[in-house]
């Protein structure tokens, strides 16, 4: 009898042990399921974030390839003169295309010197100076010639002459046709003064077709410091 009781007791303890082991496994399984419930949304969000970062990185790389960053010298020029020098026509011939680099500002192969205080520029090694205006910069950038006045076109024409632009360029040929009847202003002061005297005599005789050239020469002489602002005002009355 004692033997039977012992067997029944052992069997009962074994059942209890199995039951406890099963409960423990179920508890572990439930814990893992709960952990999965908590971590799954976090992992999903992390995956979305990583995909978004990858997408943004690809977009930035494409953007850099399509729109290169503006050269620092160009930004400095724009800030100094409050000029928009963006969207340079890349179809312009290299001989007349404006280029900014670490070395400075060039048109074709010629370096351009700028004077911030006087708001003027000139081709390195040349005497002629040009007022830095948005109209002139637009022409340098390659905008259509027909949108600008004779004074801006004349400055642009002289500038291209100073950089020795090729006359075979389509734009230079168009510029020449658009300025029929206009002449390049020489750098020689004596020649300018002699021409001015002839134009002044013609103006006093009533020939109004000399007004534009006369004013252009007066402006050039003023830029060179040959005449004073007071003399400029006095002489300009002859051509108005």
User: Which of residues 68, 98, 122 is at a domain's end?
Assistant: 68
Kindly state the tokens that stand for 227.
């005449």
Q: What integer pLDDT is reported at residue 210 of this predicted model?
A: 80
Do 124 and 149 reside in the same domain of the chain? yes
State both tokens at 152. Answer: 């801006």
Residue 224 placed within a domain: yes
**SS3 state of residue 92:** coil
Structural domains counted in the chain:
3
| Residues 226, 213: Cα–Cα separation, whole Å | 17
- Let me know whether 161 and 85 are in one domain: yes
Residues 77 and 49 reside in one and the same domain: no
Residue 51: its pLDDT value, please? Answer: 61
Predicted pLDDT at 66 = 38
Question: First-to-last CA distance in the chain?
Answer: 142
CA 43 to chain centre: 43
Please state, in angstroms and rounded to a whole number, the distance separating the CA atoms of residues 138 and 173.
Answer: 18
Helix/strand/coil for 110: strand
Whether 124 is covered by a domain: the verdict is yes
Confidence (pLDDT) at 56: 54
Report d(CA 229, CA 105) in Å as an integer: 30
One digit per residue, pLDDT tens: the chain, 240 residues?
555 565 566 666 767 766 666 666 655 555 444 444 444 555 555 566 566 555 555 554 444 443 457 889 999 999 999 999 999 999 999 999 999 988 889 999 999 999 999 999 999 999 899 999 999 999 999 999 887 888 889 899 999 999 999 888 888 888 877 665 555 566 788 888 888 998 899 888 888 778 878 888 888 888 888 999 998 888 888 887
Same domain, 122 and 88: yes
pLDDT of residue 209: 77
**In-domain check, residue 196:** yes
The answer to whether residue 21 is domain-embedded is: no
Asked if 76 and 96 sit in the same domain, the reply is yes
Beta strands 110-115 and 130-131, pairing class: unpaired
| Contacts of the segment 214-222: beta carbons below 8 A, 24+ positions apart | 214/238, 214/239, 215/239, 215/240, 216/151, 216/154, 216/185, 217/185, 217/192, 220/128, 220/185, 220/192, 221/189, 221/192, 221/193, 221/196
Q: What is the pLDDT of residue 102?
A: 86
Residues 163 and 205 in one domain: no
pLDDT at 99: 95
Instruction: Kindly state whether residues 114 and 86 are assigned to the same domain.
Output: yes
In this prediction, residue 41 carries a pLDDT of: 54
Spatial separation of the C-alpha atoms in residues 152 and 22, rounded to whole Å: 95
Instruction: Establish how many alpha carbons lie within 13 A of residue 191's alpha carbon, considering only the half-sphere containing its beta carbon.
Output: 5
Same domain for 64 and 83? no
Nearest to 156 by CA among 104, 147, 239, 76: 147
**What is the domain range of residue 208?**
189-239
Which of the listed residues 129, 159, 178 is the one where a domain comes to its end? 178
My answer on whether 91 and 56 are in the same domain is: no
Residue 15, domain member (yes or no): no
- The answer to the question of residue 83 being in a domain is yes
Are residues 225 and 171 located together in one domain of the fold?
A: no
Of 42, 68, 94, the domain-final residue = 68
| Token pair for 85 | 């020098």
């Amino acid at each position: 009898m004692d033997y039977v009781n012992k067997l029944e007791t052992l069997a009962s303890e074994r059942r209890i042990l199995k039951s406890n082991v099963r409960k423990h496994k179920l508890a572990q399984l439930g814990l893992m399921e709960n952990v999965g419930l908590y971590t799954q949304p976090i992992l999903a969000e992390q995956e979305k974030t990583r995909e978004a970062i990858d997408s943004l990185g690809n977009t930035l790389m494409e953007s850099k390839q399509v729109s290169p960053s503006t050269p620092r010298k160009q930004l400095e020029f724009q800030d100094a003169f409050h000029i928009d020098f963006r969207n340079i026509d890349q179809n312009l011939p290299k001989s007349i295309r404006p280029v900014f680099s670490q070395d400075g500002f060039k048109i074709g192969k010629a370096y351009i010197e700028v004077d911030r205080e006087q708001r003027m520029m000139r081709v390195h090694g040349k005497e002629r100076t040009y007022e830095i205006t948005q109209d002139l910069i637009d022409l340098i950038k390659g905008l259509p010639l027909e949108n600008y006045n004779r004074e801006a076109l004349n400055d642009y024409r002289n500038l291209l002459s100073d950089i020795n632009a090729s006359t075979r360029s389509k734009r230079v040929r168009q510029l020449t046709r658009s300025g029929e009847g206009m002449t390049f202003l020489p750098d020689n002061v004596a020649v300018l003064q002699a021409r001015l005297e002839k134009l002044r005599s013609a103006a006093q005789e009533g020939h109004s077709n000399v007004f534009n050239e006369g004013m252009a020469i007066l402006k050039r002489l003023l830029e060179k410091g040959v005449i004073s602002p007071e003399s400029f005002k006095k002489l300009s009355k002859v051509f108005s």
